[in-house]
Chain A
Amino acid sequence: MEIARRKDHLEISELDPFLAELLRQVPTSARAEGDPAAEARIYSAPSSAPRDELCSEWKAYVKPELRRLFQTAIETVAMDLAQLSGNEKTFANRSLKIPENHAEAWLSALNQARLVIAAKNDFTENELSDHCRSPIGSRRDLSLFQVNFYGFLQEFILREINPLAAGD
């Protein structure tokens, strides 16, 4: 896989079918609905006191806006991922172009997916720091690889759109 910044977009090229499939999974993986642990992480409480008046107000007024914000980012990413559709049966490597003005949507969707996967699997901090773990094993190992792969892409996007924040 190669990843580079072009004139007005970010390009991920030489994507093998396995990594292309992981990318196609971003919108699905980012869905927290139906999983209490994932929902609790994505829509976290605004106060450490769960019975706080602010928490109930938040649920009524802020959560719907957050849901809309997150959904917009996922839809943008899904639109870009359409580039990877159509040749699922071939084993040829693929390329994906991410328009520069979609970069923040990608950051959000990748972050949603990482948080949801981690919450669903209840990953420990040690597991999340184990970047050498092979994806070929259990479903849990594959999910951990997915979190790390999405994190790698986040780091790249961050470095390209905001070099000062990334420390370059």
Chain B
Amino acid sequence: MVGPRLPGNEEWNGVDPSRTDFSILSMATLEETEIQQETRPKEGLDVPWQVVVHNDPVNLMTYVTMVFQKVFGYPREKAEVHMLEVHQKGRSVLWSGVRERGELYVQQLHGYLLLATLEKTG
């Protein structure tokens, strides 16, 4: 990562992944746990998810490039390729993998005010 952090951003960068696992947060009783298991875990474990960034006409190209470098640790050239893809094609897939990690990335991107979504692959 390059440069200083946003004040208060420590909670994003040093976030405990369990904090973003909402199924864990809501598991107060065994009964509720069983409900969660019926509704969520299979899709989270088996299906790859992707982090998609969408174009918006306000965010500066240099700013978007900087954010990709900071959030994903991409070198400038790779960050610029994704930024241009967002600008020209309207969207770019920045990352794919397990759901919980993807949620954390989307959370960070929203912290930088980019339009980002988590989508199932395929």
Contact of A48 with B117 in the complex, beta carbons under 8 Å: yes
Find chain A residues with CB under 8 A from B7 CB: 72-73, 76, 102, 104-105
Find chain B residues with CB under 8 A from A164 CB: 2, 76
Complex Cα gap A111–B109 (Å) = 13
Complex Cα gap A54–B59 (Å) = 25
Q: Is B65 an interface residue (CB 8 A)?
A: yes
Q: Is A155 an interface residue (CB 8 A)?
A: yes
Q: Is A165 an interface residue (CB 8 A)?
A: yes
Q: Is B29 an interface residue (CB 8 A)?
A: no
Complex Cα gap A161–B66 (Å) = 10
Find chain A residues with CB under 8 A from B65 CB: 165
Least CB separation from B2: chain A residue: A162
Interface 9-residue window, one of A7-15, A59-67, A86-94, A134-142 = A59-67
- List residues of A whose CB falls within 8 A of some B CB: 41-48, 53-54, 57, 61-62, 65-66, 68-69, 72-73, 76, 100-105, 107-108, 111-112, 114-115, 118, 123-125, 128, 147, 151, 154-155, 158-159, 161-162, 164-167
Could you give, for residues 19-46 of chain B, a 1 whenever the CB lies within 8 Å of some chain A CB and a 0 otherwise? 0101001000000000000011000000
Contact of B3 with A104 in the complex, beta carbons under 8 Å: yes
Size of the B side of the interface (Cβ < 8 Å), in residues, is: 39
16 contacts between A and B (CB under 8 A): A43-B110, A46-B106, A48-B119, A72-B7, A104-B7, A111-B113, A114-B58, A115-B58, A115-B59, A118-B57, A124-B57, A147-B58, A158-B62, A165-B65, A165-B69, A165-B76
Contact of B107 with A101 in the complex, beta carbons under 8 Å: no
Find chain A residues with CB under 8 A from B22 CB: 57, 61
Find chain A residues with CB under 8 A from B106 CB: 46
Complex Cα gap A53–B36 (Å) = 12
Known: A45-B117, A46-B117, A162-B2. A72 touches B66 (CB 8 A): no
- List residues of B whose CB falls within 8 A of some A CB: 2-9, 11-12, 20, 22, 25, 39-40, 56-60, 62-63, 65-66, 69, 76, 79, 103, 106-107, 110-113, 115-119
Least CB separation from B67: chain A residue: A165
Least CB separation from A52: chain B residue: B118
* Shortest Cβ gap from B99 to chain A (Å): 9
* Shortest Cβ gap from A105 to chain B (Å): 5
Contact of A62 with B58 in the complex, beta carbons under 8 Å: no
Complex Cα gap A158–B115 (Å) = 20
Contact of B62 with A155 in the complex, beta carbons under 8 Å: yes
Pairs A-B, 8 closest by C-beta atoms: A165-B66, A72-B8, A125-B57, A57-B22, A104-B6, A162-B3, A118-B58, A46-B106
Find chain B residues with CB under 8 A from A124 CB: 57
Complex Cα gap A130–B121 (Å) = 38
